[in-house]
Amino acid sequence: MLTAHKQKMLNKALQPTGGPRTPLLQLVGLQVAYGPIQAVKGIDLELYEGELVCLIGANGAGKTTTLNTIAGLLSPSSGDIRYQGTNITTLAAHQRVRRGLALAPEGRGIFTRLSVAENLRMGAYARRDSHAIAADLERVCTLLPRIGERLDQVAGTLSGGEQQMLAIGRALLSRPRLLLLDEPSMGLAPRVVETIFELIQTIAREGVTVLLVEQKANRALQLADRAYVMDGGRIGLTGSGQELLDDPLVRRAYLGEMELG
């Protein structure tokens, strides 16, 4: 586990010699409530360009609420969301997409009655660069050949794993700078889960910054540059993926529990 002092030293070491580096995403004192129930209780979180960061914790810890608030689907009761150095707390969801922030939601959220190709193009709805959209569609089909082979198929007839790939591909069509992934392995067979994780790793290697919420915490931490642990709406621990994998408290309280489900 990293202490606050060690985390500051790590962040300093990551900064270029020319001066402090601005986080791509920064949450400052973020609080989110559902009526009288406070789901997120004043968290601070930072992501830097090119990182793959995971957010883990037990069910009900506030992970999905945090991602939905970053994406603009929920409004915080207090605190700030800063993206590319700008406060976007009050910005509408579609405006955040235009700025390069995309969400592949929990449950996939695909349009089951539309074709695969129509679903993918929905990811580019905020774009007007038709030639670039066509090139990105071709790239996504290369990255996801099983999806590329099914462009005319009705999306609702895809397997669970194919639907998850479609949800990620749709998010990529917005050409994100920051990709939010919420439980991409949920309900999938182990073989398909590994394919999804390989896809996430490829996306990160291509330069997209990723914030991953994942129930398969052990596997997610193996991929992550850094990680945060949420507990009861708060950030309890933070460190590199390997540090949290090696932390006895994390292994006992989180990894074993979540790997069972």
Write the pLDDT tens digit of every residue in 187-210. Answer: 888 888 999 999 999 999 999 999
Q: Structural domains in the chain? A: 50-72+94-260 (3.40.50.300)
Phi, psi (rounded to 5 degrees) for 174: -80, 0
Strand pairing partners for 227? 54, 239
Answer yes or no: is pLDDT of 226 > 90: yes
Lowest mean pLDDT among 64-73, 104-113, 134-143, 155-164: 104-113
| Distance between CA atoms of residues 211 and 74, nearest Å | 17
DSSP symbol at 155: G
Q: How far apart are the first and last CA of the chain?
A: 24
Residues 93-144 have pLDDT tens digits of 999 999 999 999 988 789 999 999 999 999 999 888 999 999 999 999 999 9
